[in-house]
Amino acid sequence: MTIVEDIEARGMQHCETTALGVLLRHEGLDLSEPMLFGLGSGLSFIYWDSKAMAFPFLGGRVKPFELTRNLAARLGLTLRVEETTSPRKAWENVAGQLDAGRPVGLQLDCYHLDYFRSKVRFGGHVVAMYGYDEHHAYLVDTEQQGGAVRTSRTSLAMARAERGPMTARNRSFAISLPAHPPRWQDQLIPAIKACADAFLAAPIANVGHRGIEKAAGQVPRWLLRVERPERDLPQAALLMEKAGTGGALFRALYRDFLEECAGLIDDDGLRAGHRLYGEAATMWTDVAGLIAEAGQSGDDAHLQQAGVILHDLSRIEREAMQVLRQL
């Protein structure tokens, strides 16, 4: 049995920031979840749909692992990433880090994990692994999933090897701090401006503030888009509110990040951005509630109202990012 010592198994709200928190605290750097998310320029939006999809995908953040790469580059971290198609090599990559006393991050499909309460397929899920024995792997997942958890090594191998949208080839990663890392406080404004630039200059119309406007036009039609509205729409609302798909969770994280920044930097633009993202977080919660009500009642008036709010959200988030880009 191998267990990495001095692991603080603190589950947070989002999977990638939870894993990053575990790895960085082990290295001696303890940052809040909003700070990790903001320094990684994690906020975004995408509305994605196709005939092959059972239900549209709404993403409220950058694509999986981009946050980790952004954070590592901004803080001067050494990020060691390993991928392979070999199950044997995949296990050796992980066990080698753990045996050396270092926790490791894993990207996988949460569908196969024993402890996952909702059996949904998502190949961009991230966990931190801090130990193993003959039969089990010991992980840190989000607070919603239980924080410190375990799953069978067989299920872990299946989750890591899954192929499909947003999956990676048995991706594992480890982080180490340089001897003289840059001050993270000096990276706040560059991280905010980079996030704003990407959000405002998205190359396609279903990403960024234009993606929210796209959602405003499509969500009112969702009763016709799904096979079982009473199941699918409340599930979509739950993901939006608790998992960040769509907006509420990630907008709240970014609001709190901007609040932390405003406590360190005296700037009217920061305060304005914080206020606007405070409004946005509340409005995304309202959208999720209306979508759930539409599924439960079968009344598309709730979806029509959700579309109106999404239209306003596109404007508010565009204004917020325009202000923040000027910092």
Residue 72 phi, psi dihedral angles, 5° rounding: -60, -45
Q: Give per-residue pLDDT as tens, 83-119.
A: 999 999 999 999 999 999 999 999 999 999 999 987 7
Domain residue ranges of the chain, discontinuous segments joined by +: 2-30+78-176, 184-325
Q: How far is Cα 124 from Cα 208, in angstroms, rounded to an integer?
A: 19
Question: Under CATH, which number does the domain 184-325 receive?
Answer: 1.20.120
Strand partners, 119: none
Interval 124-162: pLDDT, tens: 999 999 999 999 999 999 998 999 999 999 999 999 999
Q: Which CATH class is domain 2-30+78-176?
A: alpha beta
Q: How much of the chain, in percent, has pLDDT values that exceed 90? A: 84
* Exposure letters 58-78 (e unless 16+ CB within 10 A, then b): bbbbbebbbbbebbbebbebe
pTM for this structure?
0.95
Q: Determine phi and psi for 147, rounding to 5 degrees.
A: 70, -110
Rounded distance, CA 226 to CA 312, Å? 25
